[in-house]
Amino acid sequence: MGTLSMPIDEAAKTPKCYPGTSNTPFDISPVPNIKKRTTTRGRKTTRSRLITGSPYKDQLIKSLEKSPLKKTDDGINLDINDGDKPDSTCIFCDGKFSEDTRREVWVKCDMCQMWAHLDCARLKQPVMFAISVNNFFL
């Protein structure tokens, strides 16, 4: 096992750095100038106000009158009746809705739009975003 070293001849062939021919990293890529942001973000500063004072109160009442509250959809699809099929069948046990005497909870699949017993679907409780609950028995 020998040691790896550069032969003397190759060491003499490597170029040397001379002051007139060398480049510094600043010559290749100069340091960027950072510009200060001119935009202002956030709220504008205002003086403190008496909230119960009449000018502020009048402004608040006007803004509340202008924009009525919007009704939001909670994303829960509660189907009370299935209009296209008066008598649905369970997709797992083929039991009919009209023949259900045990008053079981039925759930509707959002993907295939078919109904199933909660127990047949092996769910402990209805999952809001995957299936909807039929409110006949709740």
pLDDT score at 38: 74
pLDDT score at 5: 63
pTM (two decimals): 0.31
Residue 35, strand partner residues = none
Q: Tell me the average pLDDT across 7-27.
A: 68
How many CB atoms are closer than 10 A to CB 104? 15
What are the structural domain ranges in the chain?
87-126
pLDDT in tens, 64-119: 887 666 666 555 555 555 444 567 888 888 888 888 777 788 888 877 888 888 88
Mean pLDDT of the chain: 70
pLDDT score at 77: 55
Distance CA 49, CA 57 (A): 11
Look up the CATH superfamily of 87-126: Zinc/RING finger domain, C3HC4 (zinc finger) (3.30.40.10)
Is the CB of residue 131 less than 8 Å from the CB of residue 77? no
